Structure 1
């Protein structure tokens, strides 16, 4: 019998996907993990298990090589930057993700951020809660230009939603899907052109060496002063120091961030700015997306451990 531990979930054991896995003869143990869990505690939680389904727990080289029985790490999401892929490959531990399973949740969150920024929801909510009836006048989203950095599963969903707002769509990616672009009216451009022409800039790329600080000082210098930046991807794809500088120097009007380079960092200077909207890395987490991610992760775990079925594996050098 295989043993699999599910971390990061306060999930009832009766969920259909977990029941399906148990019907295959797999022992499944639900154990809430913690984003800030230590290596030692993580080793203790996963020791003796063949597989783990996890969120953003840090599967470092030390953790991976301290778990001799581990064969499978199944992420219940699309990011894998908390996992040392090279160490996993050396130890023959297969790492899988659930691409597309939370794309609707993240896309909805992105559009919500866009509307909140444009209509100045935080400022208007604040003045009313303070007993004032002062109108903070915002801007239309309709007919503005949206720049999408990373036109993959999530970026495409954002683009499809933006069509309903009559937006002009610009996209930057290393892979072109021309059929999709033609259907929604998206134009692929170079990054500098996207940055200099967009009213809203949104990121949907994984975080790895080539995308680290893909939006930094030089890139932000190209943005229009009236533009907004939205990041629901990973904190490391934006240089937070450069972003803070651009905002306080009014070279950018505002930002909405669901992620940070170091989570949580309540000492970040960005936290003090009134033109920054925050959510706690929750864009991809809805009731529906959690169930969808878990279902795919269960199938991935079974496929890896049993050798039966297909799974989405990530390796060193993967871009998502």
Structure 2
């Protein structure tokens, strides 16, 4: 049986799932793990890349120059959903299949989005810090129960947030280019335009892919339309929000607060948002639960094996 080499630059691939490692082992795959921070520093990276039949990627970029050094590469699988860090055109030119694992972390991200809504409204982070500093007294916040939630993007994650929000008796406004009337009826979602959501929602949570159409879909003009008591939550992709405009809106108290798990530049070490106390910042942790990471690894491993055995991956990314 042929021995395959699988390169992984995702540090969490197989870390939380013995089953994922077993899928590879049973298909005669040799797994080589190289952290993304060491990709271009380790002497053996080019050697492994030249031998790789499959490449499991995390947050690292996959450039055309990398693919030129991988003559045996048959498939690139994202250990997650977003594929904007992969040069899809270069992969297509070389006949390399690209796949991902959509939906495997949907529940985890929806949990975080709902948690950030509550944390922002009730000032949980600030209250924790004040208590540790010896402060004792009421920390004022905003109500969540019965308020209006605007959901931008009604894919698996957006729907998951809606399902959770119903437990808070929230009024749901949904924005998407595709309408699922059955879902909207079952979960009492009222389709709305972006403009309507901006002006009516108490909380806006974004779950859109990053495309030329969605880049900076929330900018200065949109933030001006939001209520001064409203909150913005982004757990999808940093590029959908203009962070300079968001900083201005938050610093000038044009909106009450925001919570971000994703950023235009990661990590956001030089972001002006770090200076503000009315924004919660988390380290792109949305999909990081033990269950979600295990399932993601298993889907990725099976897609790798499928392609190496001449079968389609579980979730192939269609490249135009």
Tell me if the contact between 2:7 and 2:34 (Cα under 8 Å) persists in the aligned partners: no
Work out the CA distance in 1 between the residues paired with 2:47 and 2:239.
28
- Residue range with higher mean Cα deviation, 308-317 or 186-195: 308-317
Match of 1:67 in 2: 70
- Runs of at least 5 residues in structure 2 that lack an aligned partner in the other structure: none
Give me the CA root mean square deviation: 1.8
Contact 2:16 2:293 in 1 (8 A): no
The aligned counterpart of 2:172 is 169
Structure 2 distance, partners of 1:59, 1:206, is 19
The equivalent residue for 1:124 is 127
Alpha-carbon offset, residue 260 of structure 1? 0.8
Please tell me whether the aligned partners of residues 232 and 257 of structure 2 are also in contact (alpha carbons under 8 angstroms).
yes
After superposition, the Cα gap between the structure-2 partners of 1:44 and 1:83, relative to the gap in structure 1 and judged at 3 Å, is farther
Match of 2:301 among 291, 298, 311: 298
Structure 2 counterparts to residues 112-151 of structure 1, below 5 A? 112-151=115-154
Distance across 2 between alignment mates of 1:261 and 1:296: 28
The equivalent of 1:313 in structure 2 is: 316
- Mean Cα deviation higher: 196-205 or 42-51: 42-51
The reply to whether residue 205 of structure 1 matches residue 190 of structure 2 is no
1:27 deviates by 2.2
Question: Matched residues in 1 for 2:41 and 2:95: separation?
Answer: 21
Cα distance in 2 between the residues matched to 1:258 and 1:242: 17
CA contact (8 A) 1:124 1:134 kept: no
Unaligned runs of 5+ in 1: none
TM-score, structure 2 as length reference = 0.93
* Count of residue pairs the alignment pairs up: 315
Q: 3-state SS of the aligned residue for 1:95? A: strand
State the match for 2:161 in structure 1: 158
Asked if the contact 2:98/2:316 (under 8 Å) is kept, the reply is yes
Match of 1:55 in 2: 58
Of the three residues 6, 25, 28, the one matched with 1:4 is 6
Determine which of 191, 194, 203 is the counterpart of 1:191.
194
Q: TM-score, normalised by structure 1?
A: 0.93
Q: Which residue of 1 aligns with 2:290?
A: 287
Aligned with residue 92 of structure 1, among 77, 92, 95:
95
Q: Distance in 2 between matches of 1:37 and 1:250?
A: 41
